[in-house]
Structure 1
Amino acid sequence: MPAIRLSHLQSSSPRLVNLLRAVWVVAILWFELGTFLHHVSQCAWPDVPINPEPQRSVTTRDAHTHVMLVADPQVLDHRSYPGRAPWLMWLSQRMVDVNLRKSWWATLRLRPHSVVFLGDMMDGGRFAMDDAEYEDYHARFKSIFALHDDTPVHYIPGNHDVGIGGVAAGFSDQAHARYVAHFGALNALRVLANHTFVAVDAPGLVEEDAARAAAGLSFERWAAARPAGPIAFVQDAAAAAQGQADGPVVLLTHIPLARPDTASCGPLRERGTIRQGAGYGYENTLSARVSQFLLESLRPVVKNSGDDHDYCEYRHPLPATDEMPLSTTGAVKEISVKSFSMAMGVRRPGFQLLSLVPPASVQAGTATFGDVPCLLPDQIGIYVSVYVPLIVLSVLALLLANAHRVWQGSGRAGRHT
């Protein structure tokens, strides 16, 4: 039988070629766009019931404040995978950027009232680079996560944004100043739907607590000596929150709070759990002492974090007091939000929806918020389980069609000799 050349693929049956074209068009439209919209459409805002207001007509969306929580997008740069060849690093950046853009494009269909990024916006933001490179890097992040209206966006710093350990650990001495100039304050206090959002600089808190412990000072004495640091900020925020009797606190830190190493993260986690530990420029959790300091000072109704990349739900014990009542469960729920990126070691990236109502809008003693995780498509699974088999099947179909055509041609030629 004559050899089959790749050039013969062009001689395949027009019907087969057109069929393959149609299959590829449908596959690309669905798996590059449709499945993202479908996944987001399965996620609804977790609105809580509100008291009826006979005086005026109000829709559920008008009564609730919808906050979208996004963790660890970690937009890549050329430092992200030091062992990769330059061309492979370039390809990785482009593929991840495209995935982030698609996910963000679909996610915005939920029309949040406010967006909060829980840190690690840029994978290499903590490293030394010239101003022009940082500006380009930041512009890439803003281009990917563009908002076309006046939706307010808030950021909290992560260890990839500002580092832990400073210059001594090999990070830029300009990391903090650049973060503040491009993303805002390291620590922030905001009010949404009569809830006080306390956003704490977790990397700075890790550094400051290590210095405090080494000096043998209490949190109170340290705060008095360092009034501009995160410990003093937490104490000031606690005082401000106590001044609003009906203003529940929502605590935000990039790094999760401490918990037992055997603690479960619940059924929505892909694998493992969150364990205490530290390494180059990171801490898996805040220390047990700092975690207790945050919980006892602020007494939040809910806590949100990032950093871990996988979903984790854990309830921190915190008994109520006469002065500071809490829920009857005596615990604070912490949600570690999934990474928004396909490159952070989880097959299903995600984000979190938080729906708030003013405490006066609900019956006393009932929840003033609802939250729910949302999952995005498994992009790596699409590549491996859809595109690779489809490429193989397409090539095989064309090869077999051409082999059949050549075989038939050879048979006819043999009958005429």
Structure 2
Amino acid sequence: MMTNYDDYGVPVGAYREPESLTHQAFRVARAFVLYRLKPRIQQIRDGKWSWRRSISLGKIIIAVWFITLYWGERKVFNSSIDSCRWEAWEKWDSNANPHRLVFIADPQLVDPHTYPGRPWPLNTLTVKHTDLYLRRTYSRIQKVLYPDSVILLGDLFDGGREWSTPTTKSPEAQYRKYGDSFWLKEYDRFGRIFFGHWGDGGMLPRLGQPGRKIISSIPGNHDLGFGKGIQIGVRRRFNAYFDDGNRIDIIGNHTFVSIDSVSLSALGQENADSMKEIWEPTMEFLDGAKNQKQRFVQRTLREQQGLSPNLPYAHEMIEAHQLAKAALPHFSEQVTEFPTILLTHVPLYREPGTPCGPLREHWPPSQPPKGQTEPPEKDDRNAISVSGGYQYQNVLHREVTKDIAEKVGDIQYAFSGDDHDYCEVVHRAYPSGGGGIREITVKSISWAMGVRHPGVLLVSLWNPVDAHGNRLEKDSTEPTLQTHLCLLPDQLGTFIRYATLFGITIFSLVGRAALVASGRIITTQLNDNPLLPLTEHASSAENEKAGLSSQPQATFKDSISSNSSTSSERANLQVRSTNARTRSVSPVSGYGLPPAQGNYGNYTYPLVQHAGYYGPPDEDKKEMKVWGSVSTAKQKPKKKGFALFIQELRNSLFLVATIVFPWYFWLIWHG
């Protein structure tokens, strides 16, 4: 078979493209298995392996961090939401199919108004972590609880009232640089959390439910301001994107009446007549609330019977003189109203010191006096403070609360926000649906609002009715609504655990480095144990002892026979004479290749294909390293004392950080 050569005397096809990165990575992995993993497995088989040799302080710390981070970024969120499953606390009959609703209060997205003096990057990290917390909990609620409806009770933003509009400016000079563009960015941020993750658990309604609904139109004092501090331009902007705060919804055969209580509060302040533009829309809504409730119930009952929600218009001609007496079709038949539920951001008025109950976290109930088992009727420590300040008021005015109760009528339940902590009271001083108005102030969902355990309120609604709105249950006195406080993870406590473990990590690694530097712990320093074994060239004397010549006398047959030699023979490399280095100037003579010597049989490849290793000068040969047996080359002197302490501490910290931080960022990124 003839061999073709190119112009430089190189056989055509003798060389290939360099290996790909994938192939190189495979070879490194193969070397790791052969030289590291396989010997370790062999030690285990031979009984030479022990746990004491394999376990180190760094590995233990890494394992503890892995478990702690998974617990803090996954386990606590999963377990807290899983413990709130509807089946665990609902107490309806087995044939009930209740409407399931979640109340969310005061997310108050952290912005420049929240911590105005907090420096970068602490403020940025606070924004990122609070958003991450809201997104995780809300997404988990959608996936695990899958509520039919979600209602937010105001204070969607923290500084929304401060961001200027084309017609208004912030009353505080430090926030006037933030305008409509900044508010729109905050709105997009809010939407990516609460609207973007609305469908994480799915979009289809549960069996027997009309559909899924999210309501976020109730404004808070941080969204608009409070009373006379509200600017009309700010409110118009909020209503344009979130809808009017005054509305009526029929949910689960219950009538939900939402009011803009922060605007209505201007009615209870000085010079109320001059602020009529602020409170008048809510008051007009309340004036027609009873008729609106009746009409909404009638429309809902018609829909449940498969009829059109509105009455059809009469197809008849009306003479001009009859227009004054003509009227649109209206419902003449009276129906039984559904239980009325009031939704307001600001809690209703109560006497100072009215207790909030045992579920209040920040200020639990005071201990009753000796000899008494009932909690005290007045407990200032456990109560919502009846007070106010700049752009806020903890409860509505007494007169405003009374007007709301009278104009809405038959209120059985009320749900509010603003306070950030849980509070449950029964108002018996106002007109109600019987037994007083049971009001629950919902906890904030954000961990940055002063409560260690944020929360949401789960509400289960079950009120089966006939075509006229009458209850089908045998016992009409049974409640149609059940609630459950769902507590969320203590994020601040998680950070404290991280900080504690970080301190333990530093202390442990510093102690280990000190013991190594003092000689109490013997360890191999870095670079003493490479991934693959290294060797150096044998000296000329060693070659002569092995019966090898330093002259280039290798033949093709010798190279073939060397492939079948023993491992000890393969460890020795032949060295060509330095005289063979010289090349001629002209490529005509084959770039100075020496003439073929010896008998090579039918082998006709040029000698350049078998060029040996020329090697460095003799004085450098002792320090050369190639693949082979154990290395005996010169090594740098090992560090001692403080230098060894710094090296061990740096290396151990680097080892832990390079493994723990990627794990933490992966948990956050995929959270």
TM-score over 0.5 (shorter chain): yes
Aligned equivalents of 2:278, 2:133: Cα separation in 1: 43
Q: What amino acid sits opposite 1:38 in the alignment?
A: S
Deviations 1:286-313 (A, max 9, x none): 0011112222332211100000001000
Q: What amino acid sits opposite 2:398 in the alignment?
A: A
1:351 aligns with 2:351: no
Which of the numbers 117, 142, 151 marks the counterpart of 2:152?
117
Alignment of 1:17-416 (within 5 A): 17-45=58-86, 46-50=89-93, 60=96, 63-108=97-142, 109-127=144-162, 128=164, 129-145=178-194, 146-148=197-199, 149-150=202-203, 151-155=212-216, 156-165=218-227, 169=229, 173-210=232-269, 214-215=272-273, 229-241=281-293, 244=297, 245-270=336-361, 271=363, 272=381, 273-297=383-407, 298-318=409-429, 326-327=433-434, 330-360=435-465, 361-362=472-473, 363-384=475-496, 386-408=497-519
SS at match of 2:508: helix
Report the alpha carbon displacement of residue 173 of structure 1 after superposing the two structures with TM: 4.8
Aligned equivalents of 1:206, 1:410: Cα separation in 2: 72
Q: Which has the larger radius of gyration?
A: 2
Q: What amino acid sits opposite 1:70 in the alignment?
A: I
User: TM-score, normalising length from structure 1?
Assistant: 0.83
Aligned equivalents of 1:406, 1:14: Cα separation in 2: 20
Aligned equivalents of 2:181, 2:279: Cα separation in 1: 33
Contact persistence 1:198–1:250 (CA under 8 A): yes
Contact persistence 2:266–2:272 (CA under 8 A): no
2:530 maps to none
Deviations 1:345-379 (A, max 9, x none): 11110010111112425331211111111111111
Q: Which moved more, 1:405-414 or 1:139-148?
A: 405-414
Aligned equivalents of 2:130, 2:289: Cα separation in 1: 37
Aligned equivalents of 1:345, 1:227: Cα separation in 2: 31
Which of the numbers 24, 40, 57 marks the counterpart of 1:16?
57
User: TM-score, normalising length from structure 2?
Assistant: 0.53
SS at match of 2:426: strand
Q: What amino acid sits opposite 2:388 in the alignment?
A: A
Report the alpha carbon displacement of residue 214 of structure 1 after superposing the two structures with TM: 4.5
Report the alpha carbon displacement of residue 44 of structure 1 after superposing the two structures with TM: 3.3
Aligned equivalents of 1:190, 1:14: Cα separation in 2: 63
Q: Which moved more, 1:153-162 or 1:241-250?
A: 241-250
Q: What amino acid sits opposite 2:492 in the alignment?
A: I
Aligned equivalents of 1:319, 1:258: Cα separation in 2: 10
Deviations 1:203-251 (A, max 9, x none): 111013437x8459xxxxx9xx999611221231223335652311110
Report the alpha carbon displacement of residue 409 of structure 1 after superposing the two structures with TM: 6.4
Aligned equivalents of 2:294, 2:236: Cα separation in 1: 31
SS at match of 1:382: helix
Aligned equivalents of 1:319, 1:23: Cα separation in 2: 57
Report the alpha carbon displacement of residue 48 of structure 1 after superposing the two structures with TM: 4.6
Report the alpha carbon displacement of residue 112 of structure 1 after superposing the two structures with TM: 0.4
Deviations 1:42-84 (A, max 9, x none): 113353524x7xxxxx5x4xx1111100000000112221222
Aligned equivalents of 2:454, 2:187: Cα separation in 1: 22
Which of structures 1 and 2 has the larger relative contact order (alpha carbons within 8 angstroms, sep 6+)? 1
SS at match of 2:425: strand
SS at match of 1:339: coil
Identity %: 33
Aligned equivalents of 2:294, 2:477: Cα separation in 1: 18
Report the alpha carbon displacement of residue 15 of structure 1 after superposing the two structures with TM: 2.5
SS at match of 1:174: helix
Q: 1:249 to 1:404 in 2, by over 3 A?
A: same
SS at match of 1:408: coil
In structure 2, the gaps of 5 or more residues are: 1-53, 165-177, 204-211, 298-335, 364-380, 466-471, 524-637, 641-671
Q: What amino acid sits opposite 1:24 in the alignment?
A: W
Q: What amino acid sits opposite 2:446 in the alignment?
A: S
Q: Comparing both structures, which one devotes a greater share of its residues to strand?
A: 1
Aligned equivalents of 1:334, 1:77: Cα separation in 2: 30
Aligned equivalents of 2:416, 2:389: Cα separation in 1: 19
Aligned equivalents of 2:521, 2:160: Cα separation in 1: 64
